A and B are shown apart, each in its own frame.
Chain A
Amino acid sequence: MDFNLTFIGQSIAFFVFWWFCQRYVWPLFVNILEERRVKIADGLEAAARAMKDLELAQAKSTDQLKEAKVEAAGIIDLANKRGSQIVDEAKEQAKVEGKRIIAGAQAEIEQEVNRAKESLRAQVSAIAIAGAEKILEGSIDQAANEDMLNKLASEL
C-alpha cells in the first residue's frame, strides 16, 4: 500500500490518455453523430415533402378524373345527337329517293301504255282493212279508203 512512482506514472498516463481522447477520439464520434443527425433530419424532411407531393398528386388526379368523366359524358351526348340526326337525314333521303323511283316507274308505265295503244291502233286498223277487204271481196282502192281508215283508227 506504499505510494511510489507508479502513482506518478498513472497520473502522467491519465493526462496523456485524456489529451489523446479529446484530440483524436472524441471529435470523430461527435462529427459522425452530428452528420448522421443532419442526414436523418434531411431524410425525414424529404419524406414529409414526398407525402405532401403525393397528396397533391392524388387530389390532382381525382380532379382530372372528374373532368374526364364530364367530358366523356358530353362526347356521348353529342354522338347520340349526331346519330339520331344521321338517321333522320337518311330517312328523309330515303323518302325522296322512293318518290323519285315511284315517279320514274309511273312515267315508264305511261310510256308503255302509250306504246301499247299505238301498236294496238295500228293492228286494229290493219284488221279493219283486212275485214273490209274480205267483206267487199273486191279490190277496193286502198288509197281511196285510206282517209276513212285512218279516221277509224284514230277513233279507236
Chain B
Amino acid sequence: MAELAETAHAVAEHSAEGQTVQEYIQHHLSFLTYGRNPLDGTWGIAHTPEEAADMGFWAVHVDTLGWSVVLGAAFLLFFRYVGKRATTDTPGGIQNFVESVFEFVEARVSEAFVHKNPLIGPLALTIFVWVLLMNTMDIIPVDWLTGLASLVGEYVFGLEHMSFKVVPTTDVNITMGMSVSIFALIIYYSIKMKGLGGFLAELAFHPFGKWMLPFNLIIEVPTLLAKPISLGLRLFGNLYAGELLFLLIASMLGAYQLPAHFLWAGFHLLVIPLQAFVFMMLTIVYLNAAHESHAH
C-alpha cells in the first residue's frame, strides 16, 4: 500500500496538467449539479463540489439524471421503432437482436414470477435494458465525455473544471431512486394482494407465530427494509468501484495504463450485464414474493 501511495504521489507531482491524483479523481467523481444556492436562494449550476454539497436536497445531478433519461428514452424509442417495423416472417438482424432480448427477459419473468400480472414483464424489460445501458457507459474511456464536457463547460459556459459524470449507476441517487420505487411497488402489491391486514400479519406473525410477535417484527421489518437498500447499493457499489478503478488506472499508471485498462474493461464487461441481470432478477423475485399470500 505504501508503495502504491508513493507511486500516486510521484505521478501526481509530475502530472502535466498540474492536477494531483486526488484532484483528478475528485473531479471525475463529482457531479454537474444544478440546484438552489442556500445563501441567496437562487437556482444555478454549482461551480465547486463544495457549493454542490451545500445545495443539499434541492439539487439535481444534471449529468447522471440526463444520461439516465437519454438512455432510457433511447432504449424505449429504439425498441418501439423495431417493434413497429417488425415482421412475422424471418426477422432481420436488428429485429432478431431486439426479439432475443425480449424473449430472454420474458423467459426470466415466466420462470421466476408465477402469478398473473401483465405489468411485470414490461417492468423487467425496462429495468434490464435501461440498467444495462447505464452500466455500459462505464466502458467509454473515463476522460472522453468528461473531458469533452469540461472543454464545453470552460469555453461555452465559462465554468472551470466542470464535472460531468457519464455513468448514471455510479450515482447512488439513480440506483436508490429505482430500488426505492421498486420497494414502493413491493408494498403496493403486498397490500393489494394480501390486504393491509395480510401484509402486516406477514410482518408480525412470521416466522414464529403470534406469541413471538416482537421477535417476528425485529426479523421481518429489517428484512423488508434491506431489500431496497441492498438492491440499490449493490448496483451502485459495483459500478462505483469499477469506475474508481478505471480512474485509478488512468491517473496513476502513466504509460502502462493501456493494458491495465483493457484487462479491467474485460472484467468489467462481465460485471456490467451481470449487475443489470441481478437487479432485474431480484426485482422479479421480490415482486413475486409480494404477490404470494400465506394461508394462516
- Chain B interface residue count, CB cutoff 8 Å, equals 46
Output the nearest chain A residue to B118 by Cβ-Cβ distance: A22
Contact B56 A4 (CB under 8 A): yes
A2 within 8 A of B: yes
A1-55 residues with Cβ-Cβ distance < 8 A to B are 1-11, 13-15, 17-18, 20-22, 24-26, 28-29, 32-33, 35-36, 39
Please report the C-alpha to C-alpha distance between residue A85 and residue B171 in the assembled complex, in whole angstroms. 112
Contact B119 A11 (CB under 8 A): no
Output the nearest chain B residue to A8 by Cβ-Cβ distance: B177
Given contacts A32-B88, A33-B99, contact A6 B177 (CB under 8 A): yes
Using a CB–CB cutoff of 8 Å, the interface residues on chain A facing chain B are 1-11, 13-15, 17-18, 20-22, 24-26, 28-29, 32-33, 35-36, 39
Contact B68 A24 (CB under 8 A): no
Please report the C-alpha to C-alpha distance between residue A29 and residue B69 in the assembled complex, in whole angstroms. 23
15 examples of A-B residue contacts, CB within 8 angstroms = A4-B59, A4-B173, A5-B60, A6-B174, A7-B180, A9-B69, A10-B65, A10-B173, A11-B178, A14-B177, A17-B126, A18-B122, A21-B76, A21-B123, A29-B99
B251 within 8 A of A: no
Of B65, B79, B130, the residue contacting A9 (CB under 8 A) is: B65
B121 within 8 A of A: yes
Contact B57 A3 (CB under 8 A): yes
B136 CB contacts on chain A under 8 angstroms: none
Output the nearest chain A residue to B103 by Cβ-Cβ distance: A33
Using a CB–CB cutoff of 8 Å, the interface residues on chain B facing chain A are 33, 35, 53, 55-61, 64-65, 68-69, 72-73, 76, 79-80, 83-84, 86-88, 98-99, 102-103, 118-119, 121-123, 125-126, 130, 168, 171-174, 176-178, 180-181
Contact B57 A21 (CB under 8 A): no
A14 CB contacts on chain B under 8 angstroms: 126, 177-178, 181
Contact B121 A10 (CB under 8 A): no
Of A1, A10, A29, A33, the residue contacting B174 (CB under 8 A) is: A10
Contact A17 B125 (CB under 8 A): no
B125 CB contacts on chain A under 8 angstroms: 21, 25-26
Chain A min CB distance to B241 (Å): 14
Given contacts A17-B130, A36-B88, contact A11 B180 (CB under 8 A): yes
Please report the C-alpha to C-alpha distance between residue A10 and residue B86 in the assembled complex, in whole angstroms. 31
Chain B min CB distance to A37 (Å): 9
Output the nearest chain A residue to B102 by Cβ-Cβ distance: A29
B122 CB contacts on chain A under 8 angstroms: 18, 21-22, 25-26
B58 CB contacts on chain A under 8 angstroms: 4-5
A24 CB contacts on chain B under 8 angstroms: 76, 80
B181 CB contacts on chain A under 8 angstroms: 11, 14-15
Please report the C-alpha to C-alpha distance between residue A127 and residue B53 in the assembled complex, in whole angstroms. 182
Nearest 9 pairs between A and B by C-beta? A10-B177, A28-B83, A22-B122, A6-B173, A26-B122, A21-B122, A7-B173, A6-B61, A4-B59
Chain A min CB distance to B70 (Å): 10
Please report the C-alpha to C-alpha distance between residue A22 and residue B98 in the assembled complex, in whole angstroms. 16
Output the nearest chain B residue to A32 by Cβ-Cβ distance: B86
B83 CB contacts on chain A under 8 angstroms: 25, 28-29, 32
Chain B min CB distance to A38 (Å): 9
